[in-house]
Amino acid sequence: MNKARRAALVWLVLTISLPATLCAATGPVWEQGRIKPSANKGKTGSYHCETTRDGYHYFVYVPKSYSDSNPAGIHIFYHGQASQKNAHSFDLWAGKLLEPYNLIGINMEYEDGDNAKDTKGKVLSSEEAIAQVMADYKVVKGRGIISSFSGGGLPHGDVYTQYGLKNCPRSAWPFNHAAIYDTNFRVSASGGLPMSWTVALGTEEWNLADLGGTQSHRAQELFGDAAKGACPDIYFKIDKGKGHVIADADVAAAAECFARSDLAYAPFMYAPDYTEKELALIVALANTMAYGRAATMLDKVLADAKAAQPVKDKAAVLKKLLDERIEKIVALAKDLTANDPLLGNFYGSLFVQQLTGHPRQKEVKGMVMAMQKDKNFRNALAAFDLFTKQLGSFFNGNKVATGMVPLLEQVQKLSGEKSLIGRMAADYLQLKD
């Protein structure tokens, strides 16, 4: 093994293996390797599955975009109290999330309809569902959405606190986005692994099970972390006139955030397809966003006259995947640095770091530096500071507190009308009537 390859391997081991102790003693079921492929392996369409726990089942939706040559991410949903009869339906998710982003859907089905009863067992059954889907399909672990509605926030919160916090290894967490739709997510959202969030709430459900209070608190926790450097891609969406339902616009908001954090945090190559010694390290580097190292090693394999043709063919596939990924990153950086200085700075700076050693780094770095020199950048940072510090004072019940109107107008103006913070401020101002 040459020195460069040895150095890359040591770096990768340090990157991936140091946090190997899971935060829960045994780790989630999907990490234990005991769930084997079922009779549903590779099955298409939508179908029903049972778990090993009586009355705790799930439905699976395989998007048309999925194939062995196009591995998927996953989307798991915990339904609300007494909503088990709707668990079969993927109408909310298919058009905006599952098909366009190639995510295999998992809708949990708890026949008793009570998330507060045997929540631990419900959590374990959902772990089993995730593990079974991972065994039956090519799933790129780390790329996905975990979501819940109403009482479904109870098992969702338990899964998050067990496996989604910073003391857990990122490599074991299957998700890069969390969506809490009008949810009884009673645990703190603070201190999580890097990912984006959607927090949805309707004005007409504000006093239902204290959703106005708990959802606001979750948003405050997330923005509090963001003010200290965590991911600021948090969409606290309040829908005027909405009752206790998931609106299409809420799902669209989740899709918007997912698309960004997908590029920033999620692996995108299915490692088990590339076990050749020449390729395995390249895939591991690419999936930990070390794009420059991965690209350099790929070029060497493709230029190696001694490399076997099957290896070169696979390397060509990887190069195509990597090039497409980087094109998307550059496009996102261009959009955000032009329209959303806060997210442009956060994601742009992250992308610059990830592109170290890659020719496209200079292009993205130039976008970020040009944005940082613009006065609108300083304005956006000031607006974000106001937003995070005052978020807990914005609302008086389901209305905007009278004294907060001028501040929200200032936040909207300073952030820019196309920015996420600016759009949230504009939405909140609609609640002053």
DSSP assignment of 115-132, as one string?
Answer: TTSSHHHHHHHHHHHHHH
| Contact by Cβ (8 Å): 221, 231 | no
Task: Name, in order, each residue with C-beta under 8 angstroms of 233's C-beta and a sequence gap of 6 or more.
Answer: 196, 197, 257, 260, 261, 343, 346, 347, 420
26: confidence class by pLDDT, cuts 50, 70, 90: confident
Phi-psi region of 95 (alpha: psi -120 to 50; beta: other; left: phi over 0): alpha
Question: What Rg value do the Cα atoms of the chain yield, rounded?
Answer: 22
pLDDT of residue 9: 47
Phi-psi region of 123 (alpha: psi -120 to 50; beta: other; left: phi over 0): alpha
pTM score of the predicted model: 0.94
| pLDDT, averaged across the chain | 94
Interatomic CA distance for residues 321 and 334, integer angstroms = 20
- Tokens for 379? 């304005």
Q: DSSP string covering 179-207, please?
A: EEEEE---S--TTBPS-EEEEEEEGGGTT
pLDDT of residue 7: 44
pLDDT at 207 over 60: yes
Residue 168 sits at φ, ψ, to 5 deg, of -105, 150
pLDDT of residue 2: 52
Mean pLDDT calculated for residue range 167-173: 92
pLDDT at 31 over 90: yes
27: confidence class by pLDDT, cuts 50, 70, 90: confident
- Tokens for 340? 């959303």
* CA contacts within 13 A on the Cβ side of 18: 6
In one-letter notation, the amino acid at residue 75 is H
| Contact by Cβ (8 Å): 307, 298 | no
Give residue-wise pLDDT tens across range 316-375. 999 999 999 999 999 999 999 999 999 999 999 999 999 999 999 999 999 999 999 999
Q: Tokens 């009752």 — which residue?
A: 243
Task: Name, in order, each residue with C-beta under 8 angstroms of 2's C-beta and a sequence gap of 6 or more.
Answer: none
pLDDT of residue 12: 46
400: which strand partners?
395
Of 405, 402, 403, 410, the C-alpha closest to 386 is 410
Domain ranges of the chain: 25-265, 271-373, 389-432
Interatomic CA distance for residues 261 and 193, integer angstroms = 12
pLDDT at 18 over 80: no
Task: Name, in order, each residue with C-beta under 8 angstroms of 248's C-beta and a sequence gap of 6 or more.
Answer: 92, 96
Interatomic CA distance for residues 250 and 246, integer angstroms = 7
| Contact by Cβ (8 Å): 283, 291 | no
| Contact by Cβ (8 Å): 121, 53 | yes
**To the nearest whole percent, how much of the chain has pLDDT over 90?**
93
Mean pLDDT calculated for residue range 379-401: 97
159: confidence class by pLDDT, cuts 50, 70, 90: very high
- Tokens for 140? 């790129």
| Contact by Cβ (8 Å): 102, 70 | yes
What letter would DSSP give residue 182?
Answer: E
Q: What is the DSSP pairing of strand 399-400 with strand 395-396? A: antiparallel
Phi-psi region of 382 (alpha: psi -120 to 50; beta: other; left: phi over 0): alpha
pLDDT at 99 over 80: yes
Of 425, 386, 432, the C-alpha closest to 408 is 425
Mean pLDDT calculated for residue range 92-97: 98
Q: DSSP string covering 330-361, please?
A: HHHHHHHHHH-HHHHHHHHHHHHHHTTTSTTH
Alpha helices in 228-276 (DSSP H): 248-265
Q: What count of other Cβ atoms lies within 10 Å of the Cβ of residue 389?
A: 13
User: Can you give the length of the chain in residues?
Assistant: 433
Give residue-wise pLDDT tens across range 284-317. 999 999 999 999 999 999 999 999 999 999 999 9
pLDDT at 4 over 70: no
Q: What is the DSSP pairing of strand 395-396 with strand 196-202? A: unpaired
| Contact by Cβ (8 Å): 398, 206 | yes
Mean pLDDT calculated for residue range 250-258: 98
Q: Tokens 């000031």 — which residue?
A: 382
Mean pLDDT calculated for residue range 253-275: 98
pLDDT at 157 over 90: yes
97: which strand partners?
none
Task: Name, in order, each residue with C-beta under 8 angstroms of 79's C-beta and a sequence gap of 6 or more.
Answer: 86, 87, 107, 108, 109, 110, 148, 149, 150, 152
Indicate the CATH number of 25-265 among 3.30.1300.10, 3.40.718.10, 3.40.50.2300, 3.40.50.1820.
Answer: 3.40.50.1820
